[in-house]
Chains A and B, each alone.
Chain A
């Protein structure tokens, strides 16, 4: 539980952080809430030689109504996402999903940007923002660019972020009163999901994404396609795992995970259809 030696730099702004990362290169890593990175370092599965702490870049912690979408600063803590009145009104699915992340301590430290940048398929917010059709704003030495959530996740803990780029904002379309559901199945209340489902439905359109059903968060497009063609909830849910390539682990075999995805998608769609 003792990480390898590293240097620590604190950045006061996004520009400074990006400059520092550029300066130290591949061996450096951003440190946001530290709740994914530090455990890996303690197990020596990650051994960055420099940490650039962006945790105090205050102006990247916000939730703003930006017209057709809500803009969320990358450094916004899970707890602030969970408690945001703006999100409660316009994107209740995301606020609710954030309330299911770990325990209270984790939610007070972990950030939405860290969760998305870490690109862990078992995390709740990558899949939820994927289901919602979010766009991620990233900033590098040459300025900002936008990446759609569906193009962002490249593999296990791999994303479209370049090493010298920082995620600065998450843009989430307003849900406009869509029905929604977040299903998180785990053995202990505060665990990561064995399988999770984020889903919404509105007048023939829908978004369904799966947590922990492959090496990336999975957009269950086959379910939405079936629904758009008029399939019943139960029939659509049968396609839950069509786009997934789940792995087996101590808590769930591949078969069981696949089965769970179908059950949970069905339950999610039932709830979202109410």
Chain B
């Protein structure tokens, strides 16, 4: 098929400033907490100070009699309110264990932060003060914070399921029975590595906030929430509370970041709706920052064992992976699926025969539930294969780039014997749409001055050097554009992966685009307007983008998994096509020619060969509105709805290179240079693309150097504020060089792939490979993240005996 159609309107590809920014930068944007809701009651949630404790009794009488307090509820009080437990939409295996999870714990608290009681009061301060007056008697039980300890079932967290193991999920692909074992037996080289993906706290700039507003009559409720997923939330709230779905409306106003943490259905959303209906009054809640670190999902949390087998040239012959996934105390919306999203990527960007053995066992612990966090499963997978590739290169004594070059899927492998572009069908059967790994890597090498740094290392990294230089790389594939509905079905996911768009040309030729994506910082309004402007030949300023309100955009599957452009943006293009097709019929009628004889360019239909016979789409829109003279069988108005179900994932890729210098006395890692060469196919707005790369790289780098959710042995989160949990600030960000190659996707008409998670996927391993590269001359070949000064110093001490 053709890669993309010719474009003539020159909107796509422009570095347009984001139309969202003036409101955000001047503080005019309205977030949930900015909404003025007369008569609202304020919810506050009392949270367990114990990681694991039986709730013996709760005395709310003092709290209930405090000034301003309207009601106090315990988990027992509200048990009958819930039509169903909180939802998990991804039962990855038929025998997956999913303990019942309610908005307020009933008998037992299972992590520090688990809600045990709720206060409704007339002011936020009164609700907060009343929490201190609730008297809960707990019987503390042992905490479970170590994954292997959890698997031993020494302490059972959920009595009703009798085990801490939630599921084991396997992906074994062998050309013949025993192929993996055979490959390891015959291998010239093998490596066996163990990596820890520490828990991370997503830490969106805006914590969560909720307001539920009941209508005075009829039972309708509007739920305002700082969510990434208004559509999913609407369905799930209806199911969990037994509210007819058409009576639920969900609105996500301006949302201050999510990174996956707002891709969920949370206790407070359900509490606000339930209590608003019960009390016939609006109920609102806003999360405190420290509360956010405990009551909003965490990310990562895996122990990874990865083994590579390679032949004498270093060509990979088999990959074996054993994961333990930390689910935390309960399964949230897609918790169990996160490791699966990475399951296909432990072979990296390499040509691997059918000798792949992946298995993930996931366990409950007494910590905050985990769920999707920027990259979700894919940064973990990329980290494992890419750090292991460096280990393999060290074992073989060859340069890590040389090893990668021998293994990259070659550009030619995306074509069949007759030169047709057919994509690359990988060992697991998924088809990689397009790629040219070597081209991206070569470009990155040049920016990073790879050869020059290698040379400088020879003179700098001498014994006793105070500052050691390191360079590390990562070549990644991002499986995104979630997702083809049929593939999701095969993974047992509880919904499809399509996205919907409606495009409407108004009588005055202004355009409305209605999308089911739900932006929370990505600049969709800007990019979506550009797509419609390109397609329809109008100015981007004449396109308005409506979203994130289920009354305005009733169909949608929201924003996560780098899906919005590759699925939602393509849906907009498809809806534009339908609008153009309809307009073409009207134009043909007006110009008295056959529809096939018309061409559409720069917003004007003209008769092929006689360009003076032309009519602009503006005139067609007005004609469609007046309906005075439409061809037979054509309905008035210029509007079309289109739902795009992608045929395939999209596969952005690229190479990132990091250069570090390590102070061997203090252990401090300085990132001197970071190069990101990404290929996300065609770019709608390169300015936004670069911004996504910058943010993603910083988040990935933060995992490598700064961030870690630390629990003590009693299950207390020690990093529950921004002084302890080290999110890097602007002044901690090193210079980042961004560049791109453009290999359009062949599976959607825009040729786009997605860029939201790429930076995070590439960065952690690139940084850690650089750190280990700097230290390997000292005999250090292993280091857990984060490479904090203390950890690096300790590693140096351990090989030098303190010298």
Q: Which residue numbers of A lie inside 8 Å of B, CB to CB?
A: 1-2, 4-5, 43-44, 103, 185, 187-192, 194, 250-253, 256, 259-260, 263
Contact = CB atoms under 8 A, between A and B. Distances in A.
B706 A188 contact: yes
B794 A256 contact: yes
A87 B220 CA distance: 66
Given A1-B290, A44-B132, 16 more contacts: A2-B288, A5-B129, A43-B290, A103-B729, A185-B666, A187-B705, A187-B726, A187-B788, A187-B789, A189-B729, A189-B731, A190-B729, A190-B731, A192-B723, A259-B793, A263-B665
B729 A188 contact: yes
21 contacts: A1-B288, A1-B289, A1-B290, A2-B128, A2-B288, A43-B721, A185-B668, A187-B726, A187-B788, A188-B706, A189-B732, A190-B729, A191-B723, A191-B726, A192-B723, A251-B790, A253-B790, A256-B790, A256-B793, A256-B794, A263-B666
A188 B290 contact: no
A70 B297 CA distance: 52
A15 B480 CA distance: 67
B174 interface: no
Contacts of B790: 251-253, 256
Contacts of B723: 191-192
> Top 8 nearest A-B pairs by Cβ distance?
A1-B288, A189-B731, A2-B128, A256-B790, A263-B665, A188-B732, A252-B790, A189-B732
B136 interface: no
A1 B129 CA distance: 12
Contacts of A194: 789
B484 interface: no
Which of B124, B132, B705, B790 counts the most A-chain CB atoms under 10 A from its CB? B790
Interface in B713-768: 718-719, 721, 723-724, 726, 728-729, 731-732
Contacts of A256: 667, 789-790, 793-794
A192 B726 CA distance: 12
A4 B125 CA distance: 8
A7 to B, nearest CB: 14
Interface residues of B, number: 30
A252 B732 CA distance: 19
B710 interface: yes
Which of A187, A259, A263 counts the most B-chain CB atoms under 10 A from its CB? A187
B666 A187 contact: no
Nearest to B786: A187
B639 to A, nearest CB: 46
Nearest to B789: A187
Contact of B706 (A4, A44, A187): A187
Interface string B525-546: 0000000000000000000000
A188 B724 CA distance: 11
Contact of B666 (A5, A103, A260): A260
A2 B287 CA distance: 11
Nearest to A189: B731
Contacts of B128: 2
Nearest to A43: B290
Contacts of B665: 263
A43 to B, nearest CB: 7
Contacts of A252: 789-790
Contacts of A44: 132
Contacts of B668: 185, 187
Contacts of B794: 253, 256
A3 B153 CA distance: 41
A187 B706 CA distance: 8
Nearest to B727: A188
Contact of B718 (A187, A189, A192, A250): A250
A191 B788 CA distance: 14
Nearest to B793: A256
Interface string B119-146: 0000011001100100000000000000
Contacts of A192: 723
Contact of B125 (A5, A185, A187): A5
Nearest to B728: A188
A185 B670 CA distance: 13
Nearest to B708: A250
Nearest to A264: B666
A251 B792 CA distance: 12
B8 to A, nearest CB: 48
A189 B727 CA distance: 11
A188 B726 contact: yes
B726 A4 contact: no
Interface string B665-681: 11110000000000000
A49 to B, nearest CB: 13
B125 A2 contact: yes
Contacts of B667: 256
B129 A4 contact: yes
Contacts of B289: 1
Given A1-B289, A2-B124, A259-B793, A250 B129 contact: no
Contacts of A4: 129
A46 B794 CA distance: 36
A269 to B, nearest CB: 15
A129 B666 CA distance: 26
A123 to B, nearest CB: 13
A189 B726 CA distance: 11
Nearest to A266: B665
Interface in B284-321: 288-290
Contacts of A5: 125, 129
A267 to B, nearest CB: 9
A240 to B, nearest CB: 13
A189 B732 CA distance: 6
B704 to A, nearest CB: 13
Nearest to A263: B665
B712 to A, nearest CB: 10
Contacts of A251: 788-790
